[in-house]
Amino acid sequence: MNDFRQKFPFLVQLEACHFVGLYKKLYQIRLHFPDYPTTNNHRVSVFCGNVPVTLDPEVSSIKEVDEFVQKLIDSLDSGREGRPTSKPCSTGEPSTTLTNLALELLSIQRQYGCEVVFDKHIMHVEFSNFDGRRNHSLTLNRTGAELFKVAQHTLPELAVSELFKRQTTLQRHVQVFLDLLDQLEEFYNNLNTIDDLCYVVLPATIDTKTVYRIFKYDRKVFLKVSLHPLQPAAIDVGFFGPTKQVSKLREIYDERQDDWDADCNVYTNLLRIFNVIAFPMRPAANHEKSQQLGSELGENSCGICMNYQDGYDRVPVISCDNEQCNLIFHIHCLKEWFATQRESKKIFTISIGNCPYCTHKISSSFDEMLVLLS
């Protein structure tokens, strides 16, 4: 059956041995071969526009399905088919709605070069692997005769409008989806550049819906860059690390925001603002291996639990102000450590305690940092 579909790619399989197709944008073909690969008990009809046409008797007598279909399209090419008839050449056809939807799916597949998967009654349709947009997919559920609504998608929620959520046709849903992807090109280019050129620590799993990146500025300082998908100029930068270093970097960023160049990407602008040649990069190309290597060497592991990631896939981002102390900690681990120490205290939202190793003072707003990390 796979060989058959590859040989005749204009056909869409509705169910086992049941196909519809639009040949040369002119002929609607409906095929049913219950005894495949033979044509025994077959049902076939061909329409030119809305006008049914009769089959050449020579085609009808062929016993092998592949040869039958090849002969059929050869006869359509030669013009031997197409004589009007008063009624369809077969009975038991699929409903007009299902046929129209299948043909529309075939048209979308050809127009946008995507993969299309759907169930027997076309109640659930998934589009994926669009040309040039391999990471994106769109899933629709049918709500009416030829109306669908979005069930799942790979777009950031901030980019989704009410128009995108409305019930409408297959073609309209796909067009709106691809129009949004065009608008998101700058957004994705900015994030991809950061992913390629920075040591990104969060999110643990990068997908097409996430709008932020947390990456290393140096050994103990991290930047969080959040982007608005549809507003390239709406950029928010947060800082994690020792108090003095973070305060200095925040001051530099606030002073130089007016130097932001709209013609440059986010990565280049951040280099210019902080006057650095580059941000730290991963020591290895493979994300998981580099995390494992860092954990084994102890360079990036939490100084309390000795793990790189905690139970929430968060990494160590908090450290003390002692420049001689190189340890960093998970927020939850340090929060629990503070809770066991008598000298620890909390003033408003700021928790104050001692580093578990060098006993230097550490002050942090754990709750605010957890929000920033989420």
Q: What is the pLDDT of residue 83?
A: 47
Contact yes or no for 77/103 (Cβ under 8 A): no
DSSP structure class, residue 130: E
* Rounded distance between C-alpha atoms, residue 34 and residue 38, angstroms: 8
Query: How large a percentage of the chain has pLDDT more than 70?
Result: 85
* Mean pLDDT, residues 213-238 taken together: 89
Q: What is the pLDDT of residue 249?
A: 92
Most confident of 121-125, 300-304, 333-337, 341-345: 121-125
Tell me the three state secondary structure of residue 277. Answer: coil
Contact yes or no for 107/28 (Cβ under 8 A): no
pLDDT of 367 strictly over 80? no
pLDDT of 347 strictly over 60? yes
pLDDT of 239 strictly over 80? yes
* Rounded distance between C-alpha atoms, residue 293 and residue 224, angstroms: 23
pLDDT of 344 strictly over 80? no
* Rounded distance between C-alpha atoms, residue 351 and residue 279, angstroms: 30
> Band of the pLDDT at 134, cuts 50, 70, 90?
confident
> Band of the pLDDT at 94, cuts 50, 70, 90?
very low
* Mean pLDDT, residues 341-368 taken together: 73
Q: Name the pairing type of β-strands 43-48 and 27-32.
A: antiparallel
pLDDT of 128 strictly over 70? yes
Give the phi and the psi of residue 242 in degrees, each rounded to 5: -55, 140
157-161, 213-217, 278-282, 323-327: least confident range: 323-327
* Rounded distance between C-alpha atoms, residue 210 and residue 203, angstroms: 8
* Mean pLDDT, residues 15-40 taken together: 84
* Mean pLDDT, residues 129-157 taken together: 90
Q: What is the pLDDT of residue 298?
A: 61
* Rounded distance between C-alpha atoms, residue 166 and residue 148, angstroms: 8
* Rounded distance between C-alpha atoms, residue 243 and residue 316, angstroms: 16
* Rounded distance between C-alpha atoms, residue 169 and residue 94, angstroms: 20
Residue of 301 and 289 predicted with greater confidence:
301
* Mean pLDDT, residues 313-326 taken together: 76
Q: b or e along 162-176 (b: 16 or more beta carbons within 10 Å of the residue's beta carbon)?
A: eebeeebebeebbeb
Q: Where are the alpha helices (DSSP H) in the chain?
A: 2-7, 57-60, 65-78, 96-112, 162-165, 170-183, 185-197, 243-256, 266-274, 287-297, 331-339, 366-373
* Rounded distance between C-alpha atoms, residue 31 and residue 195, angstroms: 49
* Mean pLDDT, residues 9-13 taken together: 81
Spatial CA neighbour of 108 closest among 175, 53, 181: 175
Contact yes or no for 46/72 (Cβ under 8 A): yes
Q: What is the pLDDT of residue 363?
A: 66
- Strand-pairing partners, residue 318, are 329
Q: What mean pLDDT value characterizes the chain? A: 82
Q: What is the pLDDT of residue 220?
A: 81
Residue of 223 and 98 predicted with greater confidence:
223
* Rounded distance between C-alpha atoms, residue 12 and residue 30, angstroms: 10
Spatial CA neighbour of 323 closest among 224, 226, 218, 233: 218
The Cα angle at residue 102 between residues 172 and 105, in degrees rounded to 5 = 40
Q: What is the pLDDT of residue 286?
A: 54
Q: Name the pairing type of β-strands 124-130 and 18-23.
A: unpaired
> Band of the pLDDT at 86, cuts 50, 70, 90?
very low
Q: Which two tokens stand for residue 191?
A: 């994030």
**Per the omega criterion (within 30 degrees of 0), is the bond before 203 cis?**
yes
Tell me the three state secondary structure of residue 136. Answer: strand
> Band of the pLDDT at 4, cuts 50, 70, 90?
confident
Spatial CA neighbour of 204 closest among 334, 329, 305, 309: 309
Single-letter residue type at 277: I
> Band of the pLDDT at 337, cuts 50, 70, 90?
confident
Strands of the sheet containing 124-130, edge to edge, are 115-118, 124-130, 133-142, 148-153
Contact yes or no for 184/155 (Cβ under 8 A): yes
Query: How large a percentage of the chain has pLDDT more than 90?
Result: 28
pLDDT of 166 strictly over 90? no
Render 288-299 in DSSP notation, one character per residue.
HHHHHHHHHHTS
